[in-house]
Structure 1
Amino acid sequence: MNALPFIKMHGLGNDFVVLDARQADIGLTPEIIRALGDRRRGVGFDQLLTLLPSRDADCYMRIDNSDGSGAGACGNGTRCVGRLLLEESGKSAVTIDSPGGLLHAEAADSGLITVNMGKPDFDWRMVPLAREMDTLHVDLSVTAEGCTLSDPVALSMGNPHAVFFVDDAEAVPLEAVGPLVESHALFPDRVNCSVASLRDDGSIRLRVYERGAGITQACGSGTCATYAAARKRGLVDGETRIDLDGGPLFLDMNPTGEILMTGAAAYSYRGEIAAEMLNGATA
């Protein structure tokens, strides 16, 4: 494999390596993805985003986690790719095909990007769960380091999410309890674990343990899932600010029930991955 150009981007600290394979196949393997995701010997990222040709959209966005596993959705990554395509094409709006379906991005005020992330799905089979259950109040309880999480909302935003509403998201030992939720037998495809606390001003504090990536600065699809879960339980209505470790996202729902997410999408740098690193990639 020859040297490979890349773009490093982030959405509120949720960081990505973006590769362009619209003209030529790159030949990614899980081994290469893990090597690229190594923050000491590779480039490092939460997710790898590969742009591929699409007949139905401006591009297809493949999503891979740093452990080499695939992902079905990535809201922060979609905003980053949306910004790239908007600037590249000069269009006012672009469409991105993804494992979770077609997504639409457009420029918002103050240099932010708005992405229509589609409708949340609360059907237990679509999350998926291992057995039939009320997804608005899932019969699940896990404990680590004296902290118990229970009664989550389960849903799909193109990938599976479990949202726990807690008194204080900051106090949850997410590094300990997150893996227990992610790998729980109730979730055959694993799950993203979100802990959210409502504030007096109507905003939400959110922290997320992402499947295949661990704790991240921000998780776009997890933020969308949290907003959808909060609306479903009647906790919020209308535009809501959700604060993650990396900064704020602004969530709303259109009249057809699709989630609209607005936030920053930033460039970090451009570079080239050496052929010797790619050809000698190790897991």
Structure 2
Amino acid sequence: MTRQFHKMHGLGNDFVVMDGREQPIAMTPALAKALADRQFGIGCDQLILLEPSTTADVKMRIWNHDGSEVQSCGNASRCVVALTGAKSLETSGGIVEGGSFGAEVEVSLPPPHFGWDEVPLNYPMDTAQLPLAWGPLEHPMALNVGNPHLVFFVPDEKAIDLVSIGPSIEHDPAFPERINVNVASIADDGIHLRTWERGSGLTMACGTGACATAVAAIVQKKVTSPVRVHMRGGDLTINWAPGEQIQMRGSATHVFKGEIDLEQFAR
């Protein structure tokens, strides 16, 4: 049961990557949660499992820190491209294409979806400006960029207490699959962003959050493409035009590799 793993991060959003293409790994929510635990496991925001794919170079499955499996992760996609050299990734959120450009990695996510049932929401609402509010946050845009996001534009993203308000938004009954929460402000140098990730909490950076926020800002004519998105862990460049894929470019860092006995974590 001893298996190799790689510890990687994209702008501080960190991952444990395990390769199950030749020797399958029976990953479960409980096992993923145990491995992601920062005190008793390896520790990460997301656990990434690579599997064989018939539609892409590799299949990528993603479990959040709490053990919930999700559809897409932009930062993890860049890390997997950097680690494996894959040009295409199969995810539950669609096919992700990627390639290396010097010190950075670029991936192209499928076009965003804006329909209320595509986000998804539990009932029809105007996703361009949801008629909902949580404390100081109100009327966000809702969209799906491989996973569901809300985007709030505020004067100062640092002034929002996401640790307190994020969980209540994430678990609001309006969102049947829970939701990622982005608060952003617009400045001369681009977008400044903080993200509460469903199942992981407040992270250093969120790739799909940067994509969702950039798309929302472009749709609302707050910025033009390409745009630089600044997060606590670093910056991403997002390029998008309506009807097209979302291109995201930034760093992907390999920290170390190791081995772990999965049997001790099996429950």
Match of 2:134 in 1: 142
- Report how far residue 94 of structure 1 moved: 0.4
Match for 1:192 among 172, 180, 189? Answer: 180
Matches within 5 A, 1:205-244: 205-244=192-231
Structure 1 residue identity aligned to 2:123: R
| Contact 2:227–2:238 (CA under 8 A) maintained in structure 1 | yes
Q: Which runs of 4+ in 1 moved over 4 A?
A: none
- 2:118 maps to what in 1? 126
Q: How far off its partner does 1:254 sit?
A: 5.2
Q: Deviation of residue 81 (structure 1)?
A: 0.3
Cα deviation code 1:27-74 (max 9, x no counterpart): 111111111011011001111110000011110000110111011110
Name the residue aligned to 2:62.
Answer: 63
Paired position in structure 2 for 1:252: 239
The yes-or-no answer on 1:170 pairing with 2:169 is: no
Find out whether 1:157 has 2:145 as its counterpart: yes
Distance in 2 between the 1:220 and 1:136 partners? 21
Structure 1: 5+ residue runs without aligned partners? 87-92
CA contact (8 A) 1:9 1:269 kept: yes
Separation in structure 2 between the aligned mates of residue 275 and residue 161 of structure 1, nearest angstrom: 33
TM-score (norm 1): 0.92
**For the Cα contact (< 8 Å) 2:225–2:241, is it kept in 1?**
no
Alignment of 1:102-113 (within 5 A): 102-109=95-102, 111-113=103-105
Shift of 1:142: 0.6
How many equivalent pairs are there? 267
SS at match of 2:21: coil
TM-score, normalisation: structure 2? 0.97
What value does the CA root-mean-square deviation take over the aligned residues?
1.2
AA partner of residue 222 (structure 1): G
Deviations 1:164-220 (A, max 9, x none): 000000111010111111011111110000000001x15010000000000000000
Counterparts of 1:29 and 1:238 in 2: how far apart (Å)?
39
- Within 5 Å, give how 1:22-33 maps onto structure 2: 22-33=21-32
Matched residue type, 1:13: G
Partner of 2:254: 267
Shift of 1:274: 2.5
